[in-house]
Amino acid sequence: MEEQLKIDFEKLLEKSNFSKKNIEIKRKNFNNFIEKGFPNKREENWKFSDLNQIISKNIKNLSFYNDLSKPNKIDQSTFIAGLEHNKLIFVNGRIEKIEFDYEEKNNIEILDDLVLEKPNNANNSLLFLNNAFVSKFFKLIVKKNYSLKKPLVIYNITNKDLVSKSVNLKFDILLEENSSLKLIEFSNDKSTTNFININYNFDVQKNSILKNYKIDNNSNSNIKYYFNNISQDTNSVSEIFLLSSGSEFIKNEINCNLNGKYASAFVNGVFLLNGSKHHEIKTNINHLVENTKSYQLIKSVLEDESKAVYQGKIFVDSKAQKTDGYQLSKAILLNENTEFNAKPELEIYADDVKCSHGSSSGSLNEDSIFYLMSRGLNYKEAKKLLINGFLLDVVEKITDSEIKNLIKNIMSLKQ
Amino acid sequence: MREKQIDKLKDYKYGFTTDIENIRAPKGLNKEVIEFISKAKKEPKWMLDWRMKAFERLKNLKEPNWQKPKYPKIDYQDIYYYSAPKSTSEKPKNIDELDPKLLETYKKLGIPLQEQQRLNGIAVDAVFDSVSVATTFKDKLNEVGVIFCSISEAIQKHPELVKKYIGSVIPLTDHYFATLNSAVFTDGSFVYIPPGVRCPMELSTYFRINASQTGQFERTLIIADKGSYVSYLEGCTAPMRDENQLHAANVELVALDDAEIKYSTVQNWYPGDEDGKGGIYNFVTKRGLCKGINSKISWTQVETGSAITWKYPSCILQGDNSIGEFYSIAITNNHQKADTGTKMIHLGKNTKSKIISKGISAGFSDMTYRGLVDISSKAKNSTNYTQCDSLLMGNKCGAHTVPYIKNKNPESNIAHEATTSKISEEQLHYCQQRGLNPEEAVGLIVNGFCKEVLQQLPMEFAVEAQKLVGISLEGSVG
Amino acid sequence: MLKIKNLKADIDSKSILNNFNLEIKPGEVHAIMGPNGSGKSTLSNILSGKKGYKVSGEVLFENKNLFELETEERAHKGIFLAFQYPLEIPGVNTNIFLKTSLNAIRKANGEKELDAIEFLKLVKLKAKNLKFDEEKLNRQLNVGFSGGEKKKNEILQMSILNPKLSILDETDSGLDIDALKTVAAGVNSLRKNDNSFLIITHYQRLLDYIKPDYVHVLMNGKIIKSGGPELALELENKGYENFN
Ligand SMILES: Nc1ncnc2c1ncn2[C@@H]1O[C@H](COP(=O)(O)OP(=O)(O)O)[C@@H](O)[C@H]1O
Ligand SMILES: [Mg+2]
């Protein structure tokens, strides 16, 4: 693979016109990636999901250069119906359309060829890979006091032409003071066995609100890694919801720094898996100052041979008195070969805090099924009703009612 | 406002040293020292061979480093691996013939060994540095077929049992400290309960480190044969010294069909002074195998001592319907560090495990609960319940919870809950309004917090442990 | 016994008590009535030594400056507060708590500590007088007690500790009429020449059973009117709103 990486990287540099400085930084990242490679289970962070193995098992002849010179057709049928929204459309990793029809143009700004400035010091090899190979680096700025009137949907569409490629995307999203954004990331994949690596950086400034809904719902054989870095200032709110269901493998990493007082973060997620799918969410919520709050709720329903992993960490700095931190993960295992792994972690250095976590996994409650059957439902109906109830609890946490309904529709369509 | 002086220095009443002449192996870790130990213990060749195998293996192993408390590099060549009072080179037949200095030492520790003064209903094996110096009530136990003696004696007198079970729960190759122990272990207790016997008294081992620059490498093996029951308790203390000393123990428990072992620990090794100087490194591997059907192993630990505690008493639930339990209180104060918890490995059908962990950190200390619950795909209809609560006293200390939860069985259920909090001002105020001073109030509330675990201890020790909980937190309020 | 002069109390720079004055002599029973939020619990908290308030003024208890004493030292000197909301302390056995408390106070006063048998005898007697179900004393302190049981438990503690000054913060709320009568009987049985009471209540109902010597009306952080038992009746008829 190293050979391929080198060839593809040189090809990328040759075909693009990156600045000298950019090339220099890319090279550094490239070399770091070559040195570390794809993460494997010997790394604590990847203990439950050996990416190196997953990639070599699922993707034959992975290549890293992606020709983005020719436009792709946009399949309109993938658009979300019944919801007025702004669009950023990517097809096979190429930006095809930017459309903010509902917004005041002077209150948002989009930059599309940002240069990497800081070298990545997270020691995360997939960020090295991303920085080395990403061709355009986007930045969206929502100006002070502006709230987007309609949600923004980032479409990540892939079609049949994309096979065994590594796709890298990178976004910076800045919410200036008093602003707000509802962001839906909507994946639609018809491609096969690619490794898609997406890096988001959210800077949520004072009094701003970020709502981020990540929807991956149609079955496909891609392997995906999302790294979401969120930093939050005073009084800001972030709300993240994941519907993690479609791809063969997904790991969503969420690193959230609560840097300002009264900042709060909510992470809710549904893992609905079948076949041999394997999805993970790993959160790091860092409470760094007083009076911050975090809440996490993750529920999984596992069928066939699927596997879900929740690794969640609440870190409380010694300065972060009056922290309120909570995490709960629950899983229902429906088949003999399913597996649920959890590592809910608390690392706490301040005493005046309220932190707790809970985790449970197991079968559907047979008593409840029996109760429902005694009221006339058959086994299948009873089971479905209970599972819906189990998951609905998470969906109800979505604070935007329009999007909540959308997601409810998507989920019940599926069942 | 508060005029009263709170004595910051906690009183470690077991900090004295016994001035006694020792026989020591030369310093360092090598073949000769292992031969020395084996010879001093008059071991058969198979035992020496086993030690050598471990020693060979050790050369390829590295010390683990995933634990939270880091410690300065240990120079394994700068430790005495064997130290025994000279007077015990021939173990006296009768306890009354024991060196009076040793008798006095144990009396001071609250464990009188002599016939007339013995604790009622408790048989004691007293381990002093590298040797067992006395075992009480042996005859009485013999009457019902219970074997209770030092592991050294068992190797000589019951080789078939030792051979069969030693290393069967903690393989020789398990990890660095377990392998080190297998190469150089000195003494510890051996217990065998024959089929159908309910051990008529509590068995206990009292570990004492006395000599300086000496490591203690305890090895304990407990076998409960079919349908038997035993309750075993260990206690540990050491003198106050400004050096760090290593206690690296291996404890193996085997419960056959329908047998039950209850293993309790009150660990009060010297924790170091209030600046974190000195104290014991307590790196211990404890593992129980529920080998038979319907067997049960229950660990209870009260960990208040040691500079660093690093241990995970675990249960392998192999037999169908077997039960594993872990009840723990861990308290760290001043600069103490603890990384402790358990592993519950569910292999058999209908196996059950329960984990109750109460951690309290004060001063500049750091405490981690680390645990694994693993339900394999064959362990149908199994359950685990885990409750981990942490109390923090002040914001210079840390409390961490790191559970690993793996469920591969759709018919099995795992439930885990954890909380971290501090003692509420309201509770303190309430107690003070009723006349208790802050330290008494904290002691009372903390004991309440630990109640579920304290209840698991044998009566005789519960009271002792309660006092210890209070003492360990002295100086942390105010 | 208790002299409060010019007491001012703030919390988070919000003024709660201001220019509060009160004197209680040995043997007297005083009642304080006032609307919600008028500062009644704040007063009892401050007298018991709860932290978190900014206080000024003077409070003397038997001529000693109360502010110089820790909470437990005040308890040792005979101040008892029956909390409006008695706390639950998980894992702590009620009997053991009571014994620890009683002996801490006895010890501080140079009296002999009671052993388990003497203590149990005392508790049995007091519990019987208060119709308090003894079995509950073997449970964790206040854990799983109903509101009324918690209040009765406070009065039981009071009767065992035999304080000089008992402050009852809305002990009557949440009690049914029978419980109210037993609580009142408990208080009355402690009434002696040298024992005083400060009874905080909303309702005149309790005062039918415990006859106060004085009634004070607390509003906006100070006593706006004092009088005899008849004041309570007047208050009951008019309501706080029309009282001024
Ligand atoms: N910890 C606190 N922080 C802020 N305000 C408080 C606090 N405790 C009480 N107060 C306020 O002080 C006032 C008096 O409260 P309190 O003494 O409890 O009243 P009462 O007992 O008469 O109902 C109320 O307005 C209440 O909201
Ligand atoms: Mg009140």
Nearest to B260 by CA among B219, B301, B302, B315: B315
Q: What is the pLDDT of residue B108?
A: 79
In a domain, B478, yes or no: no
Residues of A in contact with B421 (CB under 8 A): 353-355
Cβ count within 10 A of residue C207: 22
Structure confidence by residue, pLDDT tens digits, A229-238? 999 999 999 9
Distance of CA B427 to the CA centre of its chain: 33
Q: How many domains does the structure of chain C reveal?
A: 1
State whether A348 and B392 contact (CB < 8 Å).
yes
- Chain B residue at shortest CA distance from C79: B433
Distance between CA atoms of residues C205 and C226, nearest Å: 18
Q: How far apart are CA A31 and CA A34, in angstroms?
A: 5
CA C8 – ligand 2 centroid, Å? 17
Q: What span, in angstroms and rounded, lies between the C-alpha atoms of A312 and B398?
A: 18
Residues 6+ positions from C127 with CB-CB distance below 8 Å: C133, C134, C137, C156
C-chain CB neighbours of B440 within 8 Å are 100, 104
- pLDDT of B478 higher than 60: no
> Do A369 and A410 share a domain, yes or no?
no
Give pLDDT, residue B65.
86
**Per-residue pLDDT, B179:** 95
Domain enclosing residue A388, as ranges: 374-415
Let me know whether A395 and A259 are in one domain: no
Is there an atom of ligand 1 within 6 Å of C34 CB?
Answer: yes
Q: Say how many C-beta atoms besides its own lie within 10 A of residue A138's C-beta.
A: 20
pLDDT for B314 equals 97
Looking at mean pLDDT, say which of B66-70, B427-431, B470-474 comes out highest.
Answer: B427-431
pLDDT mean over B106-120 = 75
Alpha-carbon span A415 to A151, nearest angstrom: 26
Tokens of A183: 């962001």
Residues A339 and A379 in one domain: no
Number of domains chain A contains? 2
* C36 CA distance to ligand 1 middle (Å): 9
Question: Domain residues for C29?
Answer: 21-40+81-238
Centroid of ligand 1 to alpha carbon of B171 (angstroms): 63
Q: Nearest Cα to A142, choosing from A86, A75, A199, A77?
A: A86
Averaged pLDDT for residues B264-292: 91
Protein residue closest via CA to atom 13 of ligand 1: C37
pLDDT of residue C179: 86
**With an 8 Å Cβ cutoff, are A339 and B417 in contact?**
no
- Identify whether the C-beta of residue B375 lies closer than 8 Å to the C-beta of residue B342: no
C-alpha B48, offset from chain centre = 26
The pair of structure tokens assigned to A344 is: 């809910």
Residue B7 has pLDDT above 60, yes or no: no
Lowest mean pLDDT among A304-318, B77-91, B365-379, B391-405: B77-91
DSSP A332-374: EE-STT-EEEEEEEEEE--SS-EEEEEEEEE---HHHHHHHHH
Query: Are A69 and A129 in the same domain?
Result: yes
Please state the φ and ψ torsions of residue C29, each to the nearest 5 degrees: -115, 120
Residue B338 is part of which domain span? 2-472
Mutate to test the pocket of ligand 1, among C41, C46, C168, C202 (most ligand atoms within 8 A of CB): C41
Nearest CA distance, C124 vs chain B (angstrom): 19
> Per the structure block, which two tokens stand in for A299?
């529920």
Q: Tell me the residue length of chain B.
A: 478
Which ligand 1 atom is nearest residue C34's CA? 22
User: Using H for helix, E for strand and C for coil, what is the string for chain B?
Assistant: CCCCCCCCCCCCCCCCCCCCCEEECCCCCCHHHHHHHHHHCCCCHHHHHHHHHHHHHHCCCCCCCCCCCCCCCCCHHHCECCEEEHHHCCCCCCHHHCCHHHHHHHHHCCCCCCHHHCCCCEEEEEEECCEEEEECCHHHHHHCCCEEEEHHHHHHHCHHHHHHHCCCCCCCCCCHHHHHHHHHCCCCEEEEECCCCECCCEEEEEEECCCCCECECCEEEEEECCCCEEEEEEEEECCCCCCEEEEEEEEEEEECCCCEEEEEEEECCCCCCCCCCCEEEEEEEEEEEECCCCCEEEEEEEECCCCEEEECCEEEECCCCCEEEEEEEEEECCCCEEEEEEEEEECCCCCEEEEEEEEEEECCCEEEEEEEEEECCCCCCCEEEEEEEEEEECCCCEEEEEEEEEECCCCCEEEEEEEEECCCHHHHHHHHHCCCCHHHHHHHHHHHHHHHHHCCCCHHHHHHHHHHHHHHCCCCCC
The enclosing H or E element of C167 equals: strand C165-169
Taking the CA of residue B66 and the nearest CA in chain A, the distance in Å comes to 9
Ligand 1 site, residue C45, Cβ cutoff 6 A:
no
The reply to whether C62 falls in a domain is: no
Distance CA A310, CA B409 (A): 17
Helix, strand and coil content of chain C, in percent to the nearest 5, comes to 40, 30, 30
Instruction: State whether A391 and A307 are in the same domain.
Output: no
Distance from CA of A353 to the nearest CA of B (A): 6
Query: Does residue C205 form part of some domain?
Result: yes
* DSSP 8-state class, residue A119: P
Place of tokens 């409006």: C84
Structure confidence at residue B239 (pLDDT) = 80
Does chain B touch chain C (at least 3 C-beta pairs within 8 Å)?
yes
In A7-107, beta strands by DSSP E? 86-91, 94-99
CB contact under 8 A, A331 and B390: no
Asked if residue B70 has pLDDT above 90, the reply is no
Q: How far is C208 from chain B (nearest CA, A)?
A: 28
Does residue A222 contact residue A195 with C-beta atoms inside 8 Å? Answer: yes
CB–CB of C92/B447 below 8 Å? yes
B393 C-alpha vs ligand 2 centroid, how far in Å?
29
State the burial class of residue A147 (Cβ atoms within 10 Å of its Cβ: 0-12, 13-18, 19+). Answer: middle
Whole-number Å distance, alpha carbon C46 to ligand 1 midpoint, is 12
Q: Which two tokens stand for residue A67?
A: 């020709």
ipTM over 0.95: no
Q: Which amino acid does the sequence have at B205?
A: T
Where b means 16+ CB within 10 Å and e means fewer, B276-309 reads bebbbbbbbbbbbbbbbbbbbbbbbbbbbbbbbb
The tens digit of pLDDT for each residue in C58-69 reads 999 999 999 999
Q: Which of A356, A374, A358 is nearest to A366 (CA)?
A: A374
One domain, residues A179 and A302: yes
**Ligand 1 pocket, C39 CB below 6 A?**
yes
Q: Which two tokens stand for residue A101?
A: 């029809």
Q: For residue C44, give the ligand 1 atom closest to its CA.
A: 17
C71 and B452 in contact by Cβ < 8 A? no
- Dist. CA B64–CA B71, nearest whole Å: 12
**Does residue C9 lie within any of the structural domains?**
no
Residues in chain C: 244
Cα separation, C52 vs C160, in Å, equals: 29
B101's tokens:
């200095």
A369 and A380, same domain (yes or no): no
Nearest residue (by CA) to ligand 1, atom 4, is C11
Quick check: A340 pLDDT over 70?
yes
Tell whether B477 is covered by a domain: no
Q: Residue C100 and residue B450: Cβ atoms within 8 Å?
A: no
What is the Cα–Cα distance from A57 to B76, expressed in whole angstroms?
Answer: 44
- Quick one: A408 and A317 in the same domain? no
C-alpha span between A4 and A399 (Å, rounded): 46
B273 within 8 A of B308, measured Cβ to Cβ: no
Nearest chain B residue to A321 by CA: give it. Answer: B395
Minimum-distance ligand 1 atom for the alpha carbon of C38:
22
**Which residue of chain B has the CA closest to A362?**
B413
Question: Distance (Å, rounded) from C-alpha B234 to C-alpha B266?
Answer: 6
Instruction: Tell the residue nearest (CA) to atom 7 of ligand 1.
Output: C11
* pLDDT averaged over every residue in chain B: 89
**Any chain C CB within 8 A of the CB of B429?**
yes
Q: Which of C95, C183, C108, C175 is nearest to C138 (CA)?
A: C95
Using 50 as the pLDDT threshold, list the residues of chain C that sit under it: none
Q: Whose CA is nearest to atom 1 of ligand 1?
A: C11
Nearest to B396 by CA among B347, B354, B363: B363
3-state secondary structure at position A89: strand
Closest CA to B281 of B266, B295, B297, B270: B270
Q: Count Cα atoms within 13 angstroms, Cβ side, for B388.
A: 30
What per-residue confidence (pLDDT) applies to A380?
84
Q: pLDDT-based confidence at A119, cuts 50/70/90?
A: low
**Residue B1: pLDDT over 60:** no
Alpha carbon of C47 to ligand 1 centroid (Å)? 15
Q: Is residue C161 part of a domain?
A: yes
Residue C97 lies in a domain: yes
Q: How confident is the model at residue B140 (pLDDT cuts 50, 70, 90)?
A: confident
The confidence score (pLDDT) of residue A120 equals 61
Confidence of residue A414 (pLDDT cuts 50, 70, 90): very low
CATH number (domain holding residue C189):
3.40.50.300
Q: Detail the DSSP E strand segments found in A233-376.
A: 237-244, 249-258, 264-273, 278-287, 293-302, 307-316, 324-333, 339-348, 354-362
Predicted pLDDT at C89 = 85
Residue B188 Ramachandran class (φ > 0 left, ψ -120 to 50 alpha, else beta):
left
Residue of C nearest to B432 (CA): C72
CA distance B387 to chain C (A): 15
What digits encode the pLDDT tens for the residues A173-232?
A: 999 999 999 999 999 999 999 999 999 999 999 999 999 999 999 999 999 999 999 999
Q: Which is nearest to B451 in space by CA: C136, C139, C92?
A: C92
Residue A42: list chain B partners with CB under 8 A: none
Residue A175 and residue A150 in one domain: yes
How far is the C-alpha of A246 from the C-alpha of A243, rounded, in Å?
9
Residue C41 near ligand 1, beta carbon < 6 Å: yes
Beta strands in A70-206 (DSSP E): 86-91, 94-99, 108-111, 137-142, 152-158, 166-175, 180-189, 195-204
Cα–Cα–Cα angle for C4, C6, C7, nearest 5°?
Answer: 70
DSSP annotation string for C22-85: EEE-TT-EEEEE--TTSSHHHHHHHHHT-SS-EEEEEEEETTEEGGGS-HHHHHHHTEEEE-SS
B49-to-A8, A12, A396, B151, B229 alpha-carbon distances in Å = 57, 61, 65, 17, 33
First to last CA, chain C: 30
Does B159 have pLDDT greater than 80? yes
Report pLDDT for B92.
66
Structure tokens at A286: 């860092």
Can you tell me the distance from the alpha carbon of B324 to that of B69, in angstroms, rounded to the nearest whole number?
27
Quote the CA–CA distance of A262 and A292 in Å, as a whole number: 5
Q: What is the largest CA-CA distance in chain B?
A: 69
